[in-house]
Amino acid sequence: MSKQDGSARQVTTGPVDDSATPILHVDMDAFFVSVELLRRPELRGKPVLVGGTAGRGVVSAASYEARKFGVNSAMPMSVALRKCPNAIVLRGDYASYAKYSKRVMEIFESITPRVEKLSIDEAFLDVSGARRLHGSPAEIGWTIRERVRAETGLTCSVGVAATKYVAKVASGRAKPDGLLVVPAADTVAFLHPLPISALWGVGRVTEESLARLGLRTIGDVADMPADALERAVGPALTARLRSLAAGEDPRRVLTGREEKSIGHESTFSYDLVEPDDIRRELLRLADDVAVRLRRAGLVARTVSLKLRYGDFRTLTRSRTLPEPTDVGRRIYDEAAAALAGLIGEGARVRLIGVRAEQLRPAGGGALLWDPDEDWRDAERAIDEVTARFGRGAVRPAALVRGKRTTAGAGRADDDAENDGRPVDVRSEVTRRLRDGD
C-alpha cells in the first residue's frame, strides 16, 4: 500500500506485493548539504546551498528548503541567489563527501554484492540473492534506510521495482527520506500519470517537441501512434520511449562498470575571445584527460570537443584517430583540429570541454612506427615527476605563469612564447628526477 501527499511525494506505508521487484535504487537526500549539516546542525531547516560563488559558480546541491524557491543543482549560483536571496552558501568539502559515500556503499555491499554505483550518492542494487538472509526487497529497503541513518546520520530514499528505470523513478517520487515499492503488476499504472520529463532521454528540447503534439504524460506517449511519434523525435528515440512507457528495461545491475569516456571541461569566469587563450585552455584540458587515461590504463580512439558560446549555443565535434592514444599532445592536436572554424571574429567562448571516448585497455600491441613516441615518453616522465613532487612540477610552457580564468581550473597565459609545446621538457624532467628538486 502506498500513499501520495500534496507535494506529489509517494511512499509505501503497508504490505505490498514485492515478489517480482528485485531491483533497488538508493539515492541519498541532498547529499552534499546533508553532510554539511552534520557538522552545522544550527542550519537545519534553512535554505542551504553548496557550490561556488566566484564568477560563474554553480549550485552543487540545494537543501529542500532552498528547492521550494525553485533552486536546483547545476543552476548558476547568481540565479539561485536571485531566487532565494536568504540562502546560506557553503563551499564544498569533497573529501568529506567521499568519506561518507564510502561508508554508505559499504552498507549496500554488506547486503548484496550486486551493487552498481552510479555516482557518489546513488546506486542500483539487485537483491535477488539476498532474500534468504535479509528478507523481501521491501524489507531490505527499510533495512538500508535504517542502517544509513543509524551509521552515518544521513537519510536516503529507496525505489523498489522490477526494472532499473522504474526503481529510479520510484526513488525520486519517494524523496525525501522515503521508500516506494512499485509492484510489477502495477508498473504501467504507476508510470502513465507521470509527466513526460520522467522518461529517460527526454530533455528540454525533446519535451518541447512532444508538448507540441499535445503530449503531457507518459500515458500520452504510450497512446500516441508510433508513426506520428517518429515524425517528431525519430525512430530510435520513439522505440526507446515506447519501451520505457511500458515499463520495459532489460538492463541488468552491473557490478563492474567500465568507464565509457573520460573528460574535463571548464566554464570561464569571463568569455574567452582570443584564439590563443582558447587553444591554451584546450591544451590544459587535453593534458588532464591524458593523465586520467594513463592512470586508468586506458587509451582512446575518439576525441570529442565541446564548445559553449557566450549566448549559450553549444556545439560538439568528434574526431576518430587511426590508432588509440593516451598522449596529451595527440588529444590536443585532434581537439584543435575539431576547433578549427568554430572560433573567429567576434566569437565569445563560455565553456570548453575535451572528452576521450571509445576506450580500451592500453598495451594492445606495439606499432611499427609510433609518431607520438617522443611525446609519450615525455608525458610518462612527467607523470613520474608529478607522483614524486606534486602536480604542476613540470608543465607545458604555455601553461606556466598562467592566471586563473575559470570557475574551476582553467588558465590563460598572456606570457607564453610558443604554441603550447613543452620547452625541452624531457631534459627538464630528467634533471628533476636526478636532482630530486
Residue 345's Cβ-count burial label (10 Å; 0-12, 13-18, 19+) is exposed
Q: Does the active-site annotation cover 122?
A: yes
Rounded to the nearest 10 degrees, the angle between the axes of helix 137-152 and helix 94-111 is 140
What are the CA-CA distances from residue 232 to residues 147, 202, 344 (Å)? Answer: 46, 13, 34
Q: Which helix or strand (DSSP H or E) is residue 127 part of?
A: none
Rounded to the nearest 10 degrees, the angle between the axes of helix 235-245 and helix 226-233 is 130
Strands (E), 23-147: 23-28, 48-51, 59-62, 88-90, 115-119, 122-126
Q: Which helix or strand (DSSP H or E) is residue 321 part of?
A: strand 314-325
- Phi and psi, residue 217, nearest 5°: -120, 165
Q: Which helix or strand (DSSP H or E) is residue 324 part of?
A: strand 314-325
> Is 360 in a helix, a strand, or coil?
strand
For residues 218 and 242, what is the distance between their CA atoms, to the nearest angstrom? 9
Q: Strand 261-272: give its sheet, edge to edge.
A: 261-272, 349-361, 298-309, 314-325
Quickly list DSSP for 140-204: HHHHHHHHHHHHHS--EEEEEESSHHHHHHHHHHT-SS-EEE--GGGHHHHHTTSBGGGSTT--H
Tell me, what amino acid is at 34? S
Residues 36, 116, 122, 334: which is the catalytic one?
122
CB atoms within 10 A of CB 131: 16
For residues 376 and 363, what is the distance between their CA atoms, to the nearest angstrom? 13
Q: Is 27 annotated as a binding residue?
A: yes
Place of cell 531566487: 83
Asked if residue 176 has a cis previous peptide bond (ω within 30° of 0), the answer is yes
- The catalytic site residues sit at 122
Binding site members: 27, 121
In the annotated binding site for Mg(2+), the residues are 27, 121
